[in-house]
Amino acid sequence: MKSYCDTCAIRNRSICAGLKDDEISLLNAIGRRRRLKAGERLLWEGDEAVLVANVIEGVLKLSTQTADGKEQILGLAHSSDFLGRPFGKTTPYGVEALTDAYVCVFQRADFDRVAREHAGLEHKLLERTLGELDRTRRWMLLLGRMNAEQKLANFLLEMSDRRANAGSTGEPGDGIWALPLSRQQIADVLGLTIETVSRQFTRMKKDGLIDLPSRREVAILDRRALEYLAA
């Protein structure tokens, strides 16, 4: 039988990489593909955790809110990242597509069962979760100890890197690329306000570090200098 997974773009980079054929076909049997429009939500914070997913294409955000309604984005999920909370009662954060996206979703119950029965899959999941924890902790440093300029510099560099090595278009360098986030969303990622983000953008542009051909596009002109700012 023909399998989705055979032609899957992230077959060798996602959680599925290195799984045995029988494991893949089990996943293939319980997974289904789903397209998301930009802005569409996949999971709601506090919901019963009904599904998990692999990101095939696009960028999604994970976020929570404070009691007074301010949003904090907890992370971004790019191509080949894993989404959702296996083995838990509720989803601890909301998930929303920032760009049009393409995901491979599993019912939690199905996925949990397959994972428990196949140590290989569970091991993959563990490695990915550990990696995600490391990344999240590094982000804490940014939130806790950096000023606006450093935050934005780091953000731009990370976005640029992630799209370089996860992008299907796989361009190497620093051409013009599309920002998948609005100014407000960038502010929510970095723990800043929209005005501060805007001012920093303007300043970096004036200083010749970046160019902003349009609202949703950036080009990194002086990577070295940006890395220096990111300190």
Partner DNA sequence: CGCTGACTTGAATTCGCTCAACGCGTGTGG
Partner DNA sequence: CCACACGCGTTGAGCGAATTCAAGTCAGCG
109 contributes a contact to a second copy by CB under 8 A: no
- Tell me the backbone φ, ψ of residue 222, rounded to 5 degrees: -130, 85
- Pick one of 17, 29, 119, 176: the residue that binds a second copy (CB under 8 A): 119
216 contributes a contact to DNA by CB under 7 A: yes
**Within a 10 A sphere around the Cβ of 31, how many other Cβ atoms?**
24
Nearest CA-CA partner of 196 in 149, 144, 140: 149
Token pair 């970095």 is at which residue? 190
148 contributes a contact to a second copy by CB under 8 A: no
147 contributes a contact to DNA by CB under 7 A: yes
66 contributes a contact to DNA by CB under 7 A: no
2 contributes a contact to a second copy by CB under 8 A: no
20 contributes a contact to a second copy by CB under 8 A: no
203-206's contacts with Cβ under 8 Å and 24+ in sequence apart are: 203/149, 204/152, 204/153
What count of Cα atoms within 13 Å lies in the side-chain half-sphere of residue 71? Answer: 17
| Chosen from a second copy, DNA, none, partner binding at 116 (C-beta under 5 to 8 Å by type) | a second copy
Q: Which residues bind a second copy (CB under 8 A)?
A: 62, 64, 66-68, 70, 72, 74-75, 85-88, 92-93, 116, 119, 122-123, 125-127, 129-130, 132-134, 136-141, 143-146, 190-191, 231
